[in-house]
Amino acid sequence: MINSAASATGPARDLLLVGAGGFGRETAQTVHALNQAGARWRLLGFIDDGAERHGTAVEGSLVLGGRQLIGDMPEACVVVCTGRPTDYGSRSRIVRDLALPPERYATIIHPSVALSLSSSVGPGSVLLAHVTLTAAVRIGAHVAVMPQVTLTHDDQVDDFATIASGALLGGGVCVQTGAYVGSGAVIGEGRTIGAHSLVGMGSVVTHDVPPGEVWAGVPARYLRPAGIPGSEIGG
């Protein structure tokens, strides 16, 4: 766990980004911003199972090939950058399939993030620009936090969760493993978002959301079961 925005110091460290879609591109730009701020990441390129992308340039870096290449670069740190709303379970499946030790995973935090000294972020997580963690916020491993998210005192975001851009979480919120909180959603103080559930964009959550359900609206209400997304590496 780290509580500093300096994700890499000392000698330059090699880095691979798994997934060359939108989140991967945003993570690459965050790596460039970190290097401009004094970090030392050497971005080797992207890993993506989409053969049509192999050999192409994305955000100035090459898509090197599929996930089998990770074993050929044992010194490189890795970040899994997948998890669009229609397949927000992909990160957990890819991390499980890669079976890498926790120390292989980098933690990428944009220099503009307001990260309090009492907050912590786990390995493999990515915090994009202008995220705020106010006090005693705990973010687990392989969490994606998109731009302009506000996490207030004592929030807990468990492994593999996604917090989309502009979401606001009141104090003491728990976002459980693999859940997805949509863009602009507001989560009331002390609420729990159940494991693998999804909160729709712009929703206002005033009650706990059970595991594995989709809720949306103002106030948010149950819509349907969350379903089972696919497994490919991509956006």
CATH code for position 167: 2.160.10.10
Q: Residue 109 pLDDT > 80, yes or no?
A: yes
In angstroms, rounded to a whole number, what is the distance separating the alpha carbons of residues 157 and 124? Answer: 13
Do 119 and 55 lie in one domain? The reply is no
Contact 195, 181 (CB under 8 A): no
Do 115 and 204 lie in one domain? The reply is yes
Do 117 and 18 lie in one domain? The reply is no
Q: Is residue 197 part of a domain?
A: yes
* Arithmetic mean of pLDDT, 88-110: 96
Do 113 and 189 lie in one domain? The reply is yes
Do 122 and 92 lie in one domain? The reply is no
From 192, 197, 183, select the one nearest 156 (Cα to Cα): 192
CATH number assigned to the domain comprising residue 53: 3.40.50.20
Q: Residue 9 pLDDT > 60, yes or no?
A: no
Q: Name the domain count of the chain.
A: 2
Amino acid at 43: L
Q: Is residue 233 part of a domain?
A: no
In 37-68, which ranges are continuous DSSP H helix?
A: none
In angstroms, rounded to a whole number, what is the distance separating the alpha carbons of residues 191 and 198? Answer: 14
Say which DSSP state 12 is in. -
Average pLDDT, the chain: 93
Range of 123's domain?
108-221
Q: How many CA atoms lie within 13 A of 32 on its CB side?
A: 10
Looking at the chain, the whole-number percentage of residues with pLDDT higher than 90 is 88
Handedness of CA 36, 58, 43, 232 (dihedral sign): positive
Do 121 and 200 lie in one domain? The reply is yes
Query: What's the gap between Cα 77 and its chain centre?
Result: 16
Whether omega for the bond prior to residue 85 falls within 30 degrees of 0, making it cis, is: no
What's the confidence (pLDDT) of residue 5?
39
In angstroms, rounded to a whole number, what is the distance separating the alpha carbons of residues 172 and 183? Answer: 20
| Cα end-to-end span (Å), the chain | 26
Contact 169, 188 (CB under 8 A): no
Band (pLDDT 50/70/90 cuts) for residue 235 is: very low
Do 36 and 83 lie in one domain? The reply is yes
Q: Is residue 226 part of a domain?
A: no
Do 176 and 116 lie in one domain? The reply is yes
Handedness of CA 111, 114, 120, 126 (dihedral sign): negative
